[in-house]
Amino acid sequence: MKYLKRFNESVNNIDVIIETIKDILLPISDMGYDIGCNKGQQVLLKNREQFSGELFIRVVRHGDPTLKMNDEVKDEFIRMKDYLESEGFKSIVVHYIIKLDLNRQINVDFNEFIKIEDFEFSNLLFVAKV
């Protein structure tokens, strides 16, 4: 509840958002994956830092063990998406490579991604946009 904010408040504390994302994805981190979050550009508005750009959330890197999509993993990603939307992010695009086709990166909207069943990902990146 400490992360509640007004409806019209813009994303202004990206470091808190990053830490919350890492907390939400802790069950996936406990599986052995290092959750990486990087922020896009920032600008200074009215003497306070405002986030203006994209948030990159990497779950699986090349060289990591593959991540199998199952209901537990989906639930964590859905929680992440819901939180990001509550913080003012308008869209989430997912970039991934599946184990069966290592030569082809696929880019889809989050809603398309979450419908995927029984694939193993060798690279997985979420890009949230304000």
Q: For residue range 67-112, what is the model confidence (pLDDT) as tens digits?
A: 999 999 999 999 999 999 999 999 999 999 887 666 788 999 999 9
**Looking at the predicted structure, is the pLDDT value of residue 46 above 80?**
no
Query: Exposure of 51 by Cβ count < 10 A (0-12 exposed, 13-18 middle, 19+ buried)?
Result: buried
In a domain, 5, yes or no: no
Cα–Cα nearest to 28, from 63, 65, 3? 65
CA–CA separation, 18 and 80 (whole Å)? 11
In a domain, 28, yes or no: yes
In a domain, 9, yes or no: no
Task: Give residue 5's pLDDT band: very low, low, confident or very high (50, 70, 90).
Answer: very low
Looking at the structure of the chain, the number of domains it has is: 1
Has this prediction a pTM greater than 0.85?
no
**The pLDDT of residue 3:** 47
In a domain, 4, yes or no: no
Supply the range of the domain harboring residue 38. Answer: 14-129
In a domain, 42, yes or no: yes
CA–CA separation, 50 and 53 (whole Å)? 10
In a domain, 1, yes or no: no
In a domain, 3, yes or no: no
- Residue 74, both tokens: 């989906």
Cα–Cα nearest to 110, from 98, 123, 127? 127
